[in-house]
Structure 1
Amino acid sequence: MAQKDRISVDVSDMREQIDCRTDVAWQELSLAGKIRTLLRERLDQMKSGDKQT
């Protein structure tokens, strides 16, 4: 991955919300993995919403 594709984001005020899931697989993910998963899920939701209109 190219360095230009990386960003730094302060998520300290969102940490509890990011860690809200209780399943074991979620707890095994790194913080970066959790954020990437949440972002992908939201993008998929948005894409699905676009198809419905």
Structure 2
Amino acid sequence: MNPVPERRAEPEESVPIFRCDDCGEGIYHGDGAFFISGLVYCEECAEFRFRRLV
């Protein structure tokens, strides 16, 4: 008889590792975080504030 493998619970992302200094949204493990001039920006705010105009 083969033993049943234990199921591991998925880790909860209840606590963000950073907060965007512009909009205040939580930045979780795996999300894009940008460190510019000592501030932390989420991907959306970094693109909005620092994208190049063509």
Give the TM-score normalised by structure 1: 0.24
* Structure exhibiting the larger radius of gyration computed from Cα positions: 2
Q: Which is richer in helix?
A: 1
Q: Which is richer in strand?
A: 2
